[in-house]
Structure 1
């Protein structure tokens, strides 16, 4: 019987496979194990597994993609998870067919080349080989021995071509405004007082896999595989529908409110190094690996440098005045923190140094006022202490609890998020307008 359905979601490995192979070198024993594990696939007679518009996906194509998924994810095939593996393999093949069909259409209309050439694919495979400490011939031989070489080439071609097209079509049009960057900075500063979690995620989208029950069952099977040794990052690359799949599910440091409430509640109960159970949310199921956590803090850290002249506490007023005059004369020549020591050390009797980073509340009272009132790059007036006279330079300020992202880093992150969103919308439109049949 032939059924018609729309296939949702996007494949999420492609170029990231280099990291998988680098993390898990392909040994001879692994090749033998993989070959044995996919024996059930060999019995599939070649026929049509699906049609995508006018394109055909054969059962042979599907079997090879299943092999590739098994080899690269570290998931061991069982009677229970083979349907999940087959479903994920078919979704990725359908998406790739849609992408290549769309790119061929654009090439024909606009008369320029978009789809990656064989040379482009060869270069990507050479990079993967280097990442796995293999020569290209050794790497290709290992891939062929496991029956995944051609499927990997097809995947690389589609992923590389699609990313190139998305960047070319939308990249120059995207503009990240100062107001967006400022809002993101303000959000990060407000979040600094909340508990923070360093997490990796796998998200199984219910609509993509055929319903919530299927998503929950699939998540449980993946958790079982990871508990038996399948690498989280490799599983995320192959099974996650989140944009973080390309980076092995790495979501970085997050605070409450960035995930759905169900995930926030789970994170509060977890310990670093712990893998969650399936966490159902409105549109799918999360698997969370908590890598680390830290308490939020309202404390402020400040990085200081100083220029000083030693003056005993009981020194006469004339000595103190002379030291103050020397620092006042030097002060206009000190342009913030850069080059401060080099400039100050040229003046006889003056010493300088980096005081490092400390919480403002822990500073000596004389220095604390300068740290609180000055902005990064500013220099204090001479400050008298029992040890001498000091010029204090504020080199940086940040909230305790983690490194503050720079404006450039935030801009790059927002740019990447917008490109990813546009790519997902594009793929959704392609699926909605396509005729996709599975058999």
Structure 2
């Protein structure tokens, strides 16, 4: 099967995902490969030779073979994965599952709309606003975004239908249950205490894809699906794009970004894997109680009593062989500068007024990793203070301490913890709600 290269130019990503070319010859509902077509993709109103046959009915709502092909194309284009004989059946199952879920969600919203005499389905304006937001985040406009999808054989209505279902269901769950979900101060305090207790341990910056056993049918299918996704990620599919389309976790909306975590915040099986991983490494499938995880370890830092400092400097280049007079002149110039500086905000401005003085932002680092000449000053100075001139083999320096903190303090603040706990509860409610809808539904495969 022919696979085309990535689209270049403005807007080459959708939802933060790389747009890749869909095979010109799509697969039919049974998985048979169609012959490659030479016609321009925008002329494909539906796959060549494919009739509008009914594949599944969901409480009398039909899902056609064309619907499945379109959703498969959307999954492929927005996740950046490549079609193989191995992953094609899973792509088809994922396309069908997502369409079934959306039919059930929209049916429930229509029923509730009648009862409440208020339309709960997202309007065209809301969908278009979402498309505009996505387009802006990808440096294009709505027309450009839709045209790019169309060039890959994805019709605009396919994309809009997915967005409409997502917006509507998210709004309904939050609107109906958001005020009922309560996170107590005790829960937040317990979470903060756990973070503090774990702050001495290594911390991990993690992204995740979670494949839910129940959603895909079984634990074995979840393992198989996760293995196929890992294969695609290793071939270059963007992690965030895959997470948005295939992850069952609430973090899918953020491209799988979990943020910084410590031991105990992830399932035990994931914690054990993280301990053995290196930054930049992608895990193998990690089976947990009811899901399979794929984790990307983006960064790792040691815990303990280390201190992180953010520094800026003003320096005068001076070789190690400089004379005593040169050293004294540089020192005097920096002492005069120091008298005019009252913190990080004014250092750059004042340094720019003195000839021969170079300003630089040194970023954040652990104190123990700093150059010896800087370590003592960084430890002793308070935030906002500026050092006396410091001599190194490279020159004479003033350093300003812009921030100082212990690792772990930025893992999550009060509001972030509250939002995270509320989001977890709402995600569980939505999951149970959809499960109940599916259990009571009549889903027939033709």
Taking structure 1 as the reference length, the TM-score comes to 0.70
Report which stretch shifted further, 256-265 or 221-230: 256-265
1:19-418 counterparts in 2 under 5 A? 21=14, 23-24=16-17, 26=19, 30-31=20-21, 33-36=22-25, 40=33, 42=47, 44-148=50-154, 149-298=156-305, 399-403=406-410, 405-418=412-425
Decide whether the 8 Å contact of 1:219 with 1:286 is kept in 2: yes
Alignment CA distance shift 1:429-1:20 (3 Å): farther
- Looking at structure 1, the residues matched to 365 and 207 of structure 2 have their Cα atoms a distance apart, in angstroms, of 30
Partner of 2:7: none
Alignment CA distance shift 1:301-1:120 (3 Å): closer
Alignment CA distance shift 1:105-1:406 (3 Å): same
Greater RCO (CA < 8 Å, at least 6 residues apart): 1
After superposition, the C-alpha distances for 1:46-86 in whole angstroms (9 at most, x for unaligned) are 32221111211111111110010000010111111111101
What runs of 5+ residues in structure 2 fail to find an aligned partner? 1-10, 35-46, 311-363, 368-374, 383-401
Name the larger-Rg structure: 1
Decide whether the 8 Å contact of 1:234 with 1:248 is kept in 2: yes
After superposition, the C-alpha distances for 1:133-153 in whole angstroms (9 at most, x for unaligned) are 223222222222223221111
Alignment CA distance shift 1:408-1:19 (3 Å): farther
Partner of 1:435: 442
What runs of 5+ residues in structure 1 fail to find an aligned partner? 1-17, 304-355, 372-394
Decide whether the 8 Å contact of 1:203 with 1:287 is kept in 2: yes
Report which stretch shifted further, 190-199 or 100-109: 190-199
After superposition, the C-alpha distances for 1:143-180 in whole angstroms (9 at most, x for unaligned) are 22223221111111111111111121122233322212
Alignment CA distance shift 1:174-1:66 (3 Å): same
Q: Displacement of 1:298 after TM fit?
A: 4.2
Q: Displacement of 1:272 after TM fit?
A: 0.4
Q: Displacement of 1:246 after TM fit?
A: 1.4
Decide whether the 8 Å contact of 1:22 with 1:133 is kept in 2: no
Q: Displacement of 1:435 after TM fit?
A: 1.7
- Looking at structure 2, the residues matched to 172 and 411 of structure 1 have their Cα atoms a distance apart, in angstroms, of 13
Decide whether the 8 Å contact of 1:294 with 1:401 is kept in 2: no
Alignment CA distance shift 1:202-1:302 (3 Å): closer
- Looking at structure 1, the residues matched to 411 and 205 of structure 2 have their Cα atoms a distance apart, in angstroms, of 15
Alignment CA distance shift 1:138-1:181 (3 Å): same
Decide whether the 8 Å contact of 1:279 with 1:286 is kept in 2: yes
* SS of corresponding position for 2:134: helix
Higher helix share: 1
Q: Displacement of 1:358 after TM fit?
A: 9.6
* SS of corresponding position for 2:194: helix
After superposition, the C-alpha distances for 1:100-131 in whole angstroms (9 at most, x for unaligned) are 10110011011012101122212222222222
Taking structure 2 as the reference length, the TM-score comes to 0.69
- Looking at structure 2, the residues matched to 290 and 358 of structure 1 have their Cα atoms a distance apart, in angstroms, of 20
Decide whether the 8 Å contact of 1:279 with 1:287 is kept in 2: yes
- Looking at structure 1, the residues matched to 294 and 412 of structure 2 have their Cα atoms a distance apart, in angstroms, of 27
Q: Displacement of 1:396 after TM fit?
A: 9.9
Q: Displacement of 1:230 after TM fit?
A: 0.5
- Looking at structure 2, the residues matched to 206 and 408 of structure 1 have their Cα atoms a distance apart, in angstroms, of 31
Q: Displacement of 1:35 after TM fit?
A: 3.0
Q: Displacement of 1:416 after TM fit?
A: 2.3
* SS of corresponding position for 2:168: helix
Alignment CA distance shift 1:45-1:404 (3 Å): closer
Decide whether the 8 Å contact of 1:38 with 1:67 is kept in 2: no
